[in-house]
Amino acid sequence: MQVMLFSPYPKVKREELFDREKELKEIEEAVKRGERLLLLLGPRRIGKSSILNVALSELPYPSVKVDVRKVYSEYSSVNRYIIGKMLLSALRGRKRLFEEARMFLEKVKGVRISGVNIEINPKGFSLAELLEVLNEYGSEKGRIIIAFDEAQYLRFGGATRYDGIIAYAIDNLENLTFILTGSEVGLLYDFLKFEDPKAPLFGRYHHDIFIQRFSSDMSLEFLMAGFREAGVEVERRELEKAVEELDGIPGWLALYGYIRVTKKLNHEDCMLEVIKEASSIVNKELSRLFSYSPRYRFILKAIALGYSRWRDIKDYLTLKVGPINDANFSKLLDNLVKHGYVERRDGRYVITDPVLRKVLSL
Ligand SMILES: Nc1ncnc2c1ncn2[C@@H]1O[C@H](COP(=O)(O)OP(=O)(O)OP(=O)(O)O)[C@@H](O)[C@H]1O
Ligand SMILES: [Mg+2]
């Protein structure tokens, strides 16, 4: 039984990815044109990492990718040694690339390479210098792509100002292209500050690609293709129901397909299982936010239950956990928007992901 399309991990190869032809082409053309900064934006589970992986595997240039969210959750820091080390180990993981790049990397102060071991001596190591060297290597290879998945976490760089480093590279290192993804779109923009005249990236050209949900038709086709691949027969009517409830978010559609195929469940039981699984995923994702302020949980619950006006949400919160002043409340609400959990539409607040809505209303 094949479960490539429904596999519940970020995809790497084009044949595992359903559609996204347009997005892949847009990335490819931009990189080949020599653009230096691309952003792949969209809510969680929309397929950013998958699209990024496939693009990197197909582009004819060497690339290094760092999952900044993962680095931050493992090390609670994204200082320049850690990011430098991650960039170097991403290179080391690709043997041929590493051999080729080695003579360049050996030039970087503070970097020591012996065999497959790479050490960084914090004294004297500069990330800008590592990028300069990669740029030199890039002039041989046509270009080097440096990808930061979930780049909004670079804001935790402490003394390391990644916006400054990226701005320097964009201005001076013509053989580098940066691709940044972000699910917390508002936070990523806040961090990059393209509109702030005092910020290093002010006015820099960036090519933003917003990854959209699948339309209902595409969602249905995705499910049909996945079940066909797995050799499992399902009723079209049930798939239409699934599409209605999961609403074009590839991550949930794939999870539905994966559970249905591997656990051999009927539609209703599978939906229950998807919600259960989603609930544990979402609560884990939100736990950090909830630890900052337990009020976030009640605000999300209010919105999930259908309260959409600023005043109504605030009243619900006050009723549940006591009074809060307007400015503080607005800040919390605004933060949920920046994190991408809540959207503001025509002055109302909504949770557009139906699974998230369901999970948070429980
Ligand atoms: N076009 C697609 N075809 C098949 N599966 C997909 C597609 N897009 C996403 N998926 C699946 O959906 C899930 C989420 O995808 P992915 O991790 O790439 O999304 P993301 O936008 O990076 O999410 P996050 O913000 O959580 O990192 C994965 O299990 C992936 O396999
Ligand atoms: Mg991702």
- In tens, the pLDDT along 225-281 reads 999 999 999 999 999 999 999 999 999 999 999 999 999 999 999 999 999 999 999
Q: Distance (Å, rounded) from C-alpha 19 to C-alpha 72?
A: 31
- In tens, the pLDDT along 321-342 reads 999 999 999 999 999 999 999 9
Amino acid at 78: V
The percent of residues above 90 in pLDDT, for the chain, comes to 88
Cα–Cα distances in Å, from 100 out to 18, 34, 63, 106, 190? Answer: 34, 22, 13, 11, 37
Amino acid at 275: I
CA of 9 to the centre of ligand 2 (A): 10
**Token pair for residue 187?**
């936070």
6, 49, 149, 215, best to mutate for ligand 1 pocket (most atoms within 8 Å of CB): 49
- Which residues on adjacent β-strands are paired with residue 210? 41
Is the pLDDT assigned to residue 103 strictly greater than 90?
no
- In angstroms and rounded to an integer, the radius of gyration of the C-alpha atoms of the chain is 22
Q: Ligand 1, atom 23: nearest CA belongs to which residue?
A: 45
Label residue 8 by pLDDT band (50, 70, 90).
very high
Cα–Cα distances in Å, from 269 out to 134, 255, 263? Answer: 51, 13, 10
- In tens, the pLDDT along 54-96 reads 999 999 999 999 999 999 999 999 999 999 989 988 887 777 8
- For ligand 1, is residue 308 a contact (CB within 6 Å)? no
Number of residues that make up the chain = 362
DSSP strand pairing (176-182 vs 37-41): parallel
Average pLDDT over residues 144-155: 97
- For ligand 1, is residue 5 a contact (CB within 6 Å)? yes
CA of 153 to the centre of ligand 1 (A): 19
Q: Distance (Å, rounded) from C-alpha 88 to C-alpha 60?
A: 20
Is the pLDDT assigned to residue 123 strictly greater than 90?
no
Is the pLDDT assigned to residue 142 strictly greater than 90?
yes
With b for 16 or more beta-carbon neighbours within 10 A and e for fewer, the 36-66 pattern comes to bbbbbbbbbbbbbbbbbbbbbeebeebbbbb
Domains of the chain: 20-210 (3.40.50.300), 214-285 (1.10.8.60), 293-362 (1.10.10.10)
Q: Distance (Å, rounded) from C-alpha 57 to C-alpha 10?
A: 13
Counting ligands in written order, which one lies closest to the CA of residue 46? 1
pLDDT averaged over every residue in the chain: 95
Is the pLDDT assigned to residue 42 strictly greater than 90?
yes
